[in-house]
A and B are shown apart, each in its own frame.
Chain A
Amino acid sequence: MNIINNPISDLESYIDEFQSAELPLLNITILRNITVEPIKPYIEYLTLCMGFRANLVFGDYDNILQDILTSKLLQKNSDCTMVFLKLETLSPALIYRFTELSPKEIQSEIELIHNFIDTALKGIRAKTNSLVCWHGFELPISPAFGMLDFGNESMQYAVIEGLNRFLKKQLSTHSSCYYIDLNNIRSTLGIFNFYDNRYWHMAKSPFTLAALKNIAIDNFKLIRASKGKNKKCLILDCDNTLWGGIVGEDGLDGIKLGPDYPGSAFYEFQQEILSLHHRGIIIAICSKNNEEDVWSVIDQHPHMLLKREHISAYQINWDDKAQNIQKIALELNIGLDSFVFIDDSEFEINLINNRLPSVETIQLNKRHSLDYKAALATCGFFDSLSYTKEDKLRNKQYHEENDRKNSRESFDGNIESYLKSLDMVAHLEFANSSSISRIAQLTQKTNQFNLTTKRYSESDIKAFTDSKECIVLTVKLEDRFGNLGIVGCAIVDLVDDEAHFDTFLLSCRAIGRGLEMVLLHSCIEVLKSLKVNSYNANFIPTQKNKQVEDFYSNFGFKLISNEAGIRNYIAAENSEFAQKPNYFKTIIFNS
């Protein structure tokens, strides 16, 4: 049950219950020039919701640069650094005395702030690889020159907008640094619910609990994504969700759907779904209906925006929806905790909450269909840290996967001849600047074919790539149905004459094609060429990676220990390894 909207004392009691639970730590550091301590219960609660326990450390009040540059506050392997830099404290002149300042003085204040941001960001990035969530400057509500100010490029409002533009630009030049928009949260809540003037004056604590709750929620949209906890697939109900009314009763002409009211609620909702589709979210349908009725709407309704080509999987029948969602998960080969299920029926939502608790649900209120779009757009389940080429292509790839499946059926069990018929081309390549964000994303999102399940940020990957003691190798896959982009990677540490496989993973879309053999053989070839002749590897079990527990031993590594499920393996250059697959059309190594 979600209690984020309860009073903080309820949250505190809930958090206390987990005091002695064994949970992995999520290390969060807050750098600030204001008081934000009351955000603590929200952060601790949202961390628990992710299955972690928060280790939250506040830097000293208004001590940001010292904390970054001279203290041990920022740890290399910390998970998140939040920055609250309020202009009232950083540059009182720009906020309180703007009308007294000459253009030259304004310029010099701006430069001081630019320097501060640059120094802080470089300092943070030098100390830690953590995700950085930087809260932008709040725009003035009653700017210095009154109404005139809003339209004037050199006055206070525009100057602060300019500072935010600068900040965003600097954040984007560093890896894993993100902008959090306080103005957006403020406009959602309204200023009277956002600011607490009493505590701003008494304790330099500007925000209400409601504001801090929403700020924490926005931070966690990014933190969740950095830990691979964001969602990959949206499962949609049909009647009173995708359109108004019930197609089986109201008929194709009777349902509400179109650019004008009342169909516009559903039309707009479908547009939102399509934009998620284009962001790489997989769309599936789970509906209690006669299948042909649903397809008649999808194929024939003039205002249906969602088409067959957008739908990667569907279960349209009268079976229970928990079973149907499990079938969809099997078909798409992704875990249940990657799904969001959306329905207007309280019964179906409760069923899924009870039977498949790892599936997130959104219940739509059919008496307020005009709010459907907002319910989906603000849920935050699908936020990601990057938008890669692979995201753009993903849904096309699932369609290609369906073509592959159909083609596989015609091969009756002879998998090798089927694989051969795919004309697969594997491209191996060392990580470079254009693949870093995809590699980080793969480590964050891959659960099944992942030997160690270590989650890394872009800056971690960059650090590995820059290091001489580390090899990061990626593999791209192409076949006659399409291009899957980068679908696998290996991170290998080199210590003296030994190699240690830190990470070895394959996207679920590329499982079952022998690509893992190609990748591991290539790693070993690279290592041999470097005269590294001893290889260590391990398997760390999770709830989801059982299918790869024997991967290394099947490949020819020798099991040397098994401690609490963690298996350690060794191999040497002269070990007998499994044969390299012969059903690839080409294997290309770009070194």
Chain B
Amino acid sequence: MNEQKIKSIMSTILKISEDEIHAESSPDNIKTWDSLQHMNLILGLEQSFGITFDDEEIIQLLSYEIILAIINEKVQ
């Protein structure tokens, strides 16, 4: 459930197709994932899930795998 929602948000904000997103997807292999889009992604995820990331989490959330893990932790 969270997987699908995260992929859909990443796909609309980073303007990529959902199929392109896999565990290791990160700013290193997704061109549109720059620091500005990272901010939009974080804000968008927070808004959609109704959560707030801690200050340090924001800079750690640099792959799909980590995003999923931290969100799973927060939305339990």
* A residues lining the B interface (CB < 8 Å): 7-9, 12-13, 16, 35, 37-38, 196, 198-199, 202-203, 205, 208-209
Query: Are B55 and A9 neighbours in the complex by a CB distance under 8 Å?
Result: no
Query: Are B12 and A13 neighbours in the complex by a CB distance under 8 Å?
Result: yes
Find chain B residues with CB under 8 A from A203 CB.
35-36, 39
Query: Are B47 and A199 neighbours in the complex by a CB distance under 8 Å?
Result: no
Size category of the B interface is 10 to 19
Query: Are A37 and B48 neighbours in the complex by a CB distance under 8 Å?
Result: no
B44 to chain A, nearest CB (A): 5
Query: Are B48 and A9 neighbours in the complex by a CB distance under 8 Å?
Result: yes
A37 vs B55: C-alpha distance in the bound complex, in angstroms? 20
Query: Are A9 and B13 neighbours in the complex by a CB distance under 8 Å?
Result: yes
Query: Are A198 and B8 neighbours in the complex by a CB distance under 8 Å?
Result: no
For window 1-55 of chain B, which residues contact chain A by CB distance below 8 Å?
A: 8-9, 12-13, 35-36, 39-40, 43-44, 47-48, 53, 55
Find chain B residues with CB under 8 A from A37 CB.
36, 39-40
Binary per-residue interface labels of chain B (52-65) against chain A in the complex, 1 for a CB within 8 Å, 0 otherwise: 01010011000000
Query: Are B39 and A7 neighbours in the complex by a CB distance under 8 Å?
Result: no
Query: Are B39 and A209 neighbours in the complex by a CB distance under 8 Å?
Result: no
> Which A-B residue pairs are the 9 nearest by beta carbons?
A7-B48, A12-B12, A9-B9, A7-B47, A9-B12, A8-B44, A9-B44, A13-B12, A198-B55
B6 to chain A, nearest CB (A): 10
Find chain A residues with CB under 8 A from B12 CB.
9, 12-13, 16
Find chain A residues with CB under 8 A from B55 CB.
198
Query: Are B47 and A8 neighbours in the complex by a CB distance under 8 Å?
Result: yes
Residue of B nearest to A212 (CB): B43
Find chain A residues with CB under 8 A from B8 CB.
9
A441 vs B30: C-alpha distance in the bound complex, in angstroms? 48
A273 vs B48: C-alpha distance in the bound complex, in angstroms? 37
Find chain B residues with CB under 8 A from A7 CB.
9, 44, 47-48
A7 vs B47: C-alpha distance in the bound complex, in angstroms? 6
A208 vs B43: C-alpha distance in the bound complex, in angstroms? 8
Residue of B nearest to A201 (CB): B55
Query: Are B9 and A38 neighbours in the complex by a CB distance under 8 Å?
Result: no
B18 to chain A, nearest CB (A): 12
A166 to chain B, nearest CB (A): 33
A205 vs B47: C-alpha distance in the bound complex, in angstroms? 16
A358 to chain B, nearest CB (A): 29
Find chain A residues with CB under 8 A from B35 CB.
203
A339 to chain B, nearest CB (A): 33
A12 vs B43: C-alpha distance in the bound complex, in angstroms? 13
Query: Are A8 and B39 neighbours in the complex by a CB distance under 8 Å?
Result: no
Find chain B residues with CB under 8 A from A208 CB.
43
Query: Are A202 and B58 neighbours in the complex by a CB distance under 8 Å?
Result: yes
Find chain B residues with CB under 8 A from A199 CB.
39, 43
A–B pairs, 17, beta carbons within 8 Å: A8-B40, A8-B43, A8-B44, A9-B12, A9-B47, A9-B48, A35-B39, A37-B39, A38-B43, A196-B43, A198-B58, A199-B39, A202-B39, A203-B35, A203-B39, A208-B43, A209-B47
Query: Are B44 and A205 neighbours in the complex by a CB distance under 8 Å?
Result: no
B42 to chain A, nearest CB (A): 8
Residue of B9, B13, B47, B53 contacting most chain A CB atoms (<10 Å): B47
A7 vs B41: C-alpha distance in the bound complex, in angstroms? 11
A9 vs B53: C-alpha distance in the bound complex, in angstroms? 18
A199 vs B43: C-alpha distance in the bound complex, in angstroms? 10
A209 vs B13: C-alpha distance in the bound complex, in angstroms? 14
A560 to chain B, nearest CB (A): 47
Find chain A residues with CB under 8 A from B48 CB.
7, 9
Find chain B residues with CB under 8 A from A198 CB.
53, 55, 58
Find chain B residues with CB under 8 A from A35 CB.
36, 39
Given contacts A38-B43, A208-B43, 17 further A-B contacts (CB under 8 A): A7-B9, A8-B13, A8-B40, A8-B44, A9-B9, A9-B13, A9-B48, A12-B12, A13-B12, A37-B36, A37-B39, A37-B40, A38-B39, A198-B53, A198-B55, A202-B58, A203-B36
Find chain A residues with CB under 8 A from B36 CB.
35, 37, 203
A38 vs B36: C-alpha distance in the bound complex, in angstroms? 8
Find chain A residues with CB under 8 A from B43 CB.
8, 38, 196, 199, 208-209
A30 to chain B, nearest CB (A): 14
Residue of A nearest to B47 (CB): A7
Find chain A residues with CB under 8 A from B58 CB.
198, 202
Residue of B nearest to A16 (CB): B12
A205 vs B36: C-alpha distance in the bound complex, in angstroms? 10
Find chain A residues with CB under 8 A from B40 CB.
8, 37-38
Residue of B nearest to A12 (CB): B12
A6 to chain B, nearest CB (A): 9
A392 vs B45: C-alpha distance in the bound complex, in angstroms? 48
A198 vs B53: C-alpha distance in the bound complex, in angstroms? 10
B40 to chain A, nearest CB (A): 6
Residue of A nearest to B10 (CB): A9
Residue of A38, A196, A198, A203 contacting most chain B CB atoms (<10 Å): A198
Q: Which of B9, B39, B53, B59 is within 8 Å of A205, CB to CB?
A: B39
